[in-house]
Each structure stands twice: as structure tokens, then as C-alpha cells.
Amino acid sequence: MKLASLADGSAHGALLVVSRDLTRMTPAQDIAPSLLAAVEQWANCHDALQARYQALNDGHVPGMPYDPTALAAPLPRAPQWCDGSAFLNHGYLMEQAFKLPAIPNVDTVPLMYQGASDDFLGPCDDIPLPDVAHGIDFEGEYGVITDDIPMACTPEQALRRIRLVVQINDVSLRAFTPVEIRSGFGFINAKPSSSFAPVAVTPDELGLAWRNGRVCLPLHIERNGEWFGQPNGQEMHFGFHELIAHAARTRRLRAGTIVGSGTVSNKDRRAGSACIAERRAIEMIDQGQAVTGFLQFGESVTMQAIADDGSRPFGTIAQRFVQALPAQD
């Protein structure tokens, strides 16, 4: 099924069910007030939501026109946001371009950081940032939303507790990245609010494109209306179930935790890139210097996973980057 959150001014948004073809949506607050509440009570809500979804697709319940501009992120706030770096090609390119030492055990132990989860942006929201000198970048990713995850769960157990799959623009400020990496305390300024595609889907909705805990779909990205890349999620070195098990190695994870894949990246250069930093790294390797600049205010990005039949399971991220207004007392 496909679920979304209406941006109604509340902290968590109002739960909606969205039709399979992304033409209609209908309220579901009588089942659960928000998507987070539904995930927290999944066993009690699933069947009713599935029935509402089927009825909407069959035309048996009234639905309003699907409008992504009215939607928040599926989870405007989440208990936790853990972002991995599961596409090893991305890391290898960075190491080669910047002559960095190889990270030990990167192919056996997932890389992951814990980011802020209190202010996710919707699919059509402007992305306000303070200064273009900070090196504004986008990062196309996939992610999952989990049920409660017990401490020290196995990857197989984790796979059964993935409730929803999402598509993410993990906004990054590259000027802060090397400083914060050297500090050893993880990202703060380098990682402002991420944004999400409008629709969260249950894994079964992806059909054969959900395999081995991976979203096996190309993520098409445009910058200012021009093609930037379409890398496929199937090249994840670690599946989402393995990322979840890593995050839960020494603690439990609460329902509503979001786990990201990291920048989607493919070995075949013809797939392009899902972030500016990777394209710049390729330019440094091939040409000796980076040519592509980071984002300026007023630029736009579009991201959408496209299935073999031309459908867009998660809808589309379509956003502009703008200068943030000064803080008011």
C-alpha cells in the first residue's frame, strides 16, 4: 500500500492513503491519526489500512485529487534517523579523488551516522540554507521505516520488521564535512534537514524491485531540468536488513526509525551520479580538477525512482534551494 502525510500544521501530519496510480488520496485518521502512530501500532492498523487502500483503488471510497504540494514528508518527525553509506563505489571514488586512506573493514562493517530527525522537509518544500559558501549538495537515497527492532537482532529478523520504504534527498553542506569528520563526533552542521518523496510504500508494493533488502530501481535525478544521473539501488553492498542489524547491535530501535542507504552509486559511469560531490570526484580522477559547482540559491533538483512500467512508486521530489531568512527574536 501507499501512505502519505497531509501537511495540516500539526507536528506529525494527518495520515492519508494514496492510490496505486498516484491520482487520488483519502484520509485515514479514523484508523490512525498519523503515519507515525500507524507504524507504532502496525499490527492493529495494517489490515484496516490495507482494506482502505484496496477500496480506494477500486473506487469504492471517495478520494481527493493527489496533490504532492499539500504533503509533508511521510514522517515529518521520526524517533531516529540513521544514515548508512552502503554503496561502496561512492566511498572508493572519494578515496581515489582525495587520496584518502582506505577505511578498514568497510566491506564487512557498515558505515553509519545518526542524524537529526526532528525537522524533515516535504517533497515540494523549498530547502532554506544560510550560505552558498557552505557547499550545498543533494544526495539521492532510498530508506526504510522500521517497526520496533530488538537489540542484537539478526538481519533476517530485521528484514521482517521493515514496514515502509521511502525515497530521500539527504541534503549536505560539503564545506563542513571534512572538519566534522576530523572532529570524530559525527555530522551536525554538514547535515541540515533532509527531504522525502511524498509517498511511503510497503515493500510488497515494489514487487520484484524489492529484492534482498534492496530497492532495485534507478533513481532519476535532474538539476535545473537537466539529467544528472540515474544510478540503481540494486548495487547496495549491504541490504537494509543488514544496516538495521548493525544499528541495533547494542540497543533497540523504536518503531518509526528511518534507516537510509547513503548516496546511490553505480560502478558504471554511464549511470551518472546521485550527488554533486561524486561527480566532482570523478572529474578530479579523470581531468585532474573538479568542474561542476555546488548549488546556488534558486537552483532546483528533481528526484524520482522509475519502475520498468514507467510508474513512480514514491512520487517525485521537486524542490528549490533558497536562502534562509534571518532568525527572528
Q: What percentage of the chain has pLDDT greater than the value 70?
A: 100
Q: Give the pLDDT confidence score for residue 90 in this predicted structure.
A: 97
Contacting residues for 323 by C-beta, under 8 A, at least 6 apart: 128, 129, 130, 131, 297
- Alpha-carbon gap, residue 214 to 262, rounded angstroms: 12
Find the mean pLDDT for residues 185-205. 96
pLDDT at 326: 86
pTM across the whole model: 0.97
pLDDT score for 18? 98
Domain boundaries along the sequence of the chain:
2-69, 73-323
* Cβ atoms within 10 Å of 118's Cβ, excluding its own: 10
Is 33 in contact with 18 (CB distance < 8 Å)? no
Q: Could you tell me whether strands 14-18 and 81-84 are parallel, antiparallel, or unpaired per DSSP bridges? A: unpaired
Of 170, 159, 164, 86, the closest CA to residue 120 belongs to 170
Q: Are 168 and 195 in contact (CB under 8 A)?
A: yes
Region 285-303: mean pLDDT is 98
Q: Is the pLDDT reported for residue 168 higher than 90? A: yes
**The three grid cell numbers given for residue 289, joined into one nine-digit string:** 580538477
Q: What is the tens place of the pLDDT at every residue in 104-127? A: 999 999 999 999 999 999 999 999
CATH 3.90.850.10 correct for 73-323: yes
Pairing of strands 81-84, 258-260: parallel
**N residues, the chain:** 329
In angstroms, the CA 7 to CA 75 distance is 11
The yes-or-no verdict on residue 186 having pLDDT over 90 is: no
At 313 the three-state DSSP class reads coil
CA distances from 291 to 91, 176, 270, 283, 294 (A): 20, 20, 18, 7, 10
The pLDDT, as a whole number, for residue 158 is 98
Q: How far apart are CA 28 and CA 98, in angstroms?
A: 50
Closest to 49 in 3D by CA, of 15, 74, 13, 79:
15
Q: Is the pLDDT of residue 229 over 90?
A: yes
Kindly provide the b/e burial profile for residues 3-29, where b requires at least 16 CB atoms within 10 angstroms of the residue's own CB. Answer: bbbbbeeeebbbbbbbbbebebbbbbe
Question: For 19-74, how does the pLDDT look when each residue is reduced to its tens digit (9 = 90+)?
Answer: 999 999 999 999 999 999 999 999 999 999 999 999 999 999 989 999 999 999 99
